[in-house]
Amino acid sequence: MRRTATQPTRVSRRAVLLVVFAICALGSRIATASDKNDSEMHVVLLGTGYPRPDADRAGPSTAVVLGEKLFVVDTGRGVMMRMTAAHLPAENLQAVFLTHLHSDHISGLPDLFTTTWIINRRAAPLELYGPRGTKDTGPSANLVAHSHGADILVHEACLPESFDVHDSPAVAARLKRYHSTPEQSGADAQEASVKLLVLTHLVPGNVAENPHNAFLQRARKTFRGKIIVGRDLMKF
């Protein structure tokens, strides 16, 4: 990322987890907040889609709200529109975390970057945390360790057979390697002993083609806790 005098950006090597992530992954950053309303923490799904444009699902993005402080994890297509729809004031934005640098997770970043500067009069540098480079993954022991005992685990879920429909065999094989099935997402949630599993980054997102119960039924094979298949603007 280029840094300029008027639009400074700070990129650290702090690694928030890839594709899959847990609220507790933000714990150390959030723990520094000092607002009196810090105990009021919730999550808003800003976008539950993936690269293929979908009328009902914005690109991957999740907001973590702590009192009046706003943190955004990933900045997919439509992130600013969804923040507005969720009544999340951009002025309260504290930091953006990128799980990885795939296009669907950063395509809304230019909009967020410039709009918060021009419209919301952001005067301070945008705090942007993410990994150096891109490294794809499936089930992650690191994720399980960091999310252990969390109230909510927000986790991607892909029906791998859907890649066979839209992609070439070679591309489909690659996509299957670094995305998690609902069963794998459930297994992570079970091993981490979280209270609630929220599935996002749904592939495919087309509900008519793949009803939500397909995700639910498959995740329930491996997780005994509560499961919610995410939709944009759901709040927890």
Q: Which of 104, 109, 154, 198 binds Zn ion (CB under 5 A)?
A: 104
Q: How far is the CB of 53 from Zn ion (least distance, A)?
A: 13
Q: In whole angstroms, how far apart are CA 64 and each of 19, 34, 40, 43, 115? A: 16, 16, 11, 5, 20
Q: How far is the CB of 40 from Zn ion (least distance, A)?
A: 29
Question: Near Zn ion by CB under 5 A, which window of 104-112, 169-177, 184-192, 214-222?
Answer: 104-112
Q: How far is the CB of 201 from Zn ion (least distance, A)?
A: 6
Considering beta carbons, is residue 77 or 146 the nearer one to Zn ion? 77
Q: How far is the CB of 233 from Zn ion (least distance, A)?
A: 19
Residue whose Cβ sits closest to Zn ion: 104
Considering beta carbons, is residue 41 or 112 the nearer one to Zn ion? 112
Round to whole Å and give the CA distance between 82 and 75: 10
Instruction: Count residues near Zn ion (CB under 5 A).
Output: 2
Question: Near Zn ion by CB under 5 A, which window of 84-92, 96-104, 190-198, 227-235?
Answer: 96-104
Amino acid at 177: R
What sign has the CA pseudo-torsion 115, 205, 199, 172?
A: negative
Round to whole Å and give the CA distance between 191 and 91: 37
Catalytic residue list contains 167: no
Catalytic residue chosen out of the listed positions 104, 164, 167, 188: 104
Considering beta carbons, is residue 20 or 66 the nearer one to Zn ion? 20
Say if residue 55 is exposed, middle or buried (CB neighbours under 10 Å; 0-12, 13-18, 19+).
Answer: exposed
Considering beta carbons, is residue 104 or 188 the nearer one to Zn ion? 104
User: Are 27 and 66 in contact, with CB atoms under 8 Å apart?
Assistant: no
Q: In whole angstroms, how far apart are CA 119 and each of 81, 109, 122? A: 13, 15, 8
User: Cα–Cα–Cα angle for 5, 8, 10, nearest 5°?
Assistant: 145
Considering beta carbons, is residue 54 or 104 the nearer one to Zn ion? 104
Question: Near Zn ion by CB under 5 A, which window of 83-91, 101-109, 169-177, 180-188?
Answer: 101-109
Q: DSSP readout, 185-197?
A: HHHHHHHHT-SEE
Sheet strand arrangement including 41-47: 9-12, 126-129, 93-97, 69-73, 61-66, 41-47
Question: Near Zn ion by CB under 5 A, which window of 40-48, 98-106, 115-123, 228-236?
Answer: 98-106
Residues with catalytic annotation?
Answer: 104
Rule CB under 5 A: which residues touch Zn ion?
A: 102, 104
